[in-house]
Amino acid sequence: MFAIQQAERGRVERLTKVHLEFWDSYHDEFTRSEKTTLVEALIGLGETERALDVWTTIDQSEMDALWQGDMDILKARILFAEGPVQDVSSARESFRDAMCHAEDLDRPVKQDTLIEKSVGVRLMNELWLGTGCDELAVFAEYLGEKLADEPMPDGIDPLRVNTSDVMDAHSMRCAGS
């Protein structure tokens, strides 16, 4: 199993390197989704400075509130990660910005989706950072209520699966808090 994981990581590293070299020469040839995919790969490889470089070239002028919220969450993930651009205070501000974009969405289901995603990603990043369990209680309570009030069969909703995984991580770290 370990060999398979390492082979996959090597494949991602090679593909990311190739795409990053192309991006360096042809910023404007990448679509928004291609750039966000490159940013995700760079975060995963610990290349946060390059991830922020790519993120700053994404044209956000035509984005609706849901896309904008996702962009704020992505920026927060870059800023939470260890590396030369780590700025936890600014990362938390980006999460707050994402929550504000939820207010601009016209359908409650879209609002709930953006809020749940933002809270889940923030909680996971705060757990990784080592933030105290007492400070995380409000996030865990919100997600716990989502899971209790709106259960979904496993595998149906990727966001709900992620929320469940985040809550498992929180329970393991903060049991008894």
Domain ranges for the chain, please list them: 1-62, 65-177
Q: How far apart are CA 158 and CA 54, in angstroms?
A: 26
pLDDT of residue 146: 87
pLDDT of residue 149: 82
pLDDT of residue 91: 97
Q: Which residues contact 112 (CB under 8 A, 6 or more apart)?
A: 146
Specify whether the CB–CB gap between 32 and 59 falls below 8 A.
yes
Closest CA to 166 of 111, 127, 135: 127
| Long-range contacts (CB closer than 8 Å, 24 or more residues apart) made by 134-140 | 134/177, 136/170, 136/174, 137/177, 140/167, 140/170, 140/174
pLDDT of residue 6: 81
Closest CA to 52 of 28, 31, 29, 76: 76
* Sequence letter at residue 154: D
* DSSP string of 49-109, one letter each residue: HHHHHHHTTS--TT--HHHHHHHHHHHHHHHHSSSTT--HHHHHHHHHHHHHHHTT-SSHH
pLDDT of residue 88: 97
pLDDT of residue 155: 59
Q: Does the predicted TM-score (pTM) go above 0.85?
A: yes
Specify whether the CB–CB gap between 123 and 143 falls below 8 A.
yes
pLDDT of residue 92: 97
Q: Which ranges of the chain have pLDDT less than 50?
A: none
Q: Report the helix count and the strand count for the chain, using DSSP H and E.
A: 8, 0
Which tokens in the block code for residue 160? 């709900």
Which tokens in the block code for residue 87? 């700025």
